[in-house]
Structure 1
């Protein structure tokens, strides 16, 4: 392997991107030989990358299948969304206190743009992730952002996305608008409540989606 070849940390990042883009989905098998060929490296960095993936709970060993990307069950989904509601409510409260005028303006522009592109599901799936990322950063609390980033890895294990549903896309953007409006008015209680409501609604949509898949 040359000095410029990807190491285990780089392979881990590439695997995360592949999961995020749904190139690798829950249930996908992670074969060292196939991944080594895909990334053009030896098995050593692949093995290191998979170990890091496993340490994050994003890969597990299954009998007769080897290493796979796991799927979350009903209870795990509910546990994850409960935590997400708490963290995002806190992010809303802090953003209402600390977000700069520029940050609020960017969030509002994102909402306005998404409202004009409700029919484009693929685009909104990407902008939804970006909206939430900017929302978290607007809290100006590095420790909260770190916790949310860690939780975000677990969210990658959710099969599919509820934003393929026309009604959920529209409601999600309206909920984003409510969060941004509360932040812009420096209303901490309302921002907390709006963020929690958004995640509660996303949780309900996810459970309905989960039932359809099972």
Structure 2
């Protein structure tokens, strides 16, 4: 017997479209357009938009709803929180991850090398890698907080992995994180992940200033 894959609801479909850059900060979201795109009625779309507005992912511009954007201070605050929470996740993963979970992380590092020239695919793979570390921490409350952080990260217009040379550096950093988790070195794992987030933030700031070239 074949089990059908669960259908995504309107909220998650719109959130994913924002996260993947189909809708960028400043874009206006229209109920009728969204209903047609996702093949659902306007009622669940309306409910999803209200939920996204409550979560500050959408903002009012007159009678319209637009995708929110992060200013410099908000971006800095988000990265500070992300670095600390992700560092804790890596620390706990080094202590509690099952051998199978570590193997999945190692395989991700290996497989993601094939995506170096595709920033969007690398960004999706990067999210999967970090999510796997969150889950390997075996702390449900930490995972919940990181989900909130990543939801806000959907408001970033570009990925730092679009910067020339950043995909290779990011994979080397992922490799160091996994090595520390493999060896059970909790302090090194936490520090490696915090350093990884710090480098990503520096890259993003340089991208926003126009200092770096991009792959796309």
TM-score of the alignment, normalized to the shorter chain, above 0.5: yes
Distance 1:197 1:48, change over 3 A: same
Could you list the structure 1 runs, at least 4 aligned residues long, displaced by more than 6 angstroms after superposition. none
User: SS of 1:166's equivalent?
Assistant: coil
Looking at structure 1, the residues matched to 49 and 122 of structure 2 have their Cα atoms a distance apart, in angstroms, of 30
Looking at structure 2, the residues matched to 41 and 103 of structure 1 have their Cα atoms a distance apart, in angstroms, of 37
Correspondences of 1:125-144 after superposition (within 5 Å): 125-144=123-142
Q: 30-39 or 162-171, which moves further after superposition?
A: 30-39
TM-score, normalising length: structure 2: 0.89
Aligned equivalent of 2:59: 60
Aligned equivalent of 1:188: 186
Aligned equivalent of 2:167: 169
Looking at structure 2, the residues matched to 12 and 18 of structure 1 have their Cα atoms a distance apart, in angstroms, of 10
Aligned equivalent of 2:28: 29
Match of 1:79 among 63, 66, 77: 77
Shift of 1:153: 0.5
Q: 116-125 or 137-146, which moves further after superposition?
A: 116-125
Aligned equivalent of 1:109: 107
Is 1:198 the counterpart of 2:196? The answer is yes
- Whether the 8 Å CA contact 2:10–2:40 is kept in 1: the answer is no
Shift of 1:188: 0.8
- Deviations for 1:24-53, whole angstroms, at most 9, x for unmatched residues? 111110112322332344432221110011
User: SS of 2:29's equivalent?
Assistant: coil
TM-score, normalising length: structure 1: 0.89
Tell me the number of residue pairs that the alignment of Structure 1 and Structure 2 aligns.
204
Gaps spanning 5+ residues in structure 1: where? 1-8
Q: 110-119 or 70-79, which moves further after superposition?
A: 110-119
